[in-house]
Amino acid sequence: MAFVSFTRPDDSPVSINTAEVLSFAPVPTDGPLRGPLEAGTRIAFRNGKHQDVKEPVEAVERRLNGVG
pLDDT range class, residue 1, cuts 50, 70, 90: low
Give the whole-angstrom CA distance, residue 37 versus residue 9: 7
DSSP 27: P
Q: Is the pLDDT of residue 40 over 60?
A: yes
- Structure confidence at residue 35 as a pLDDT band (50, 70, 90): confident
pTM of the predicted model as reported, rounded to 2 decimal places: 0.87
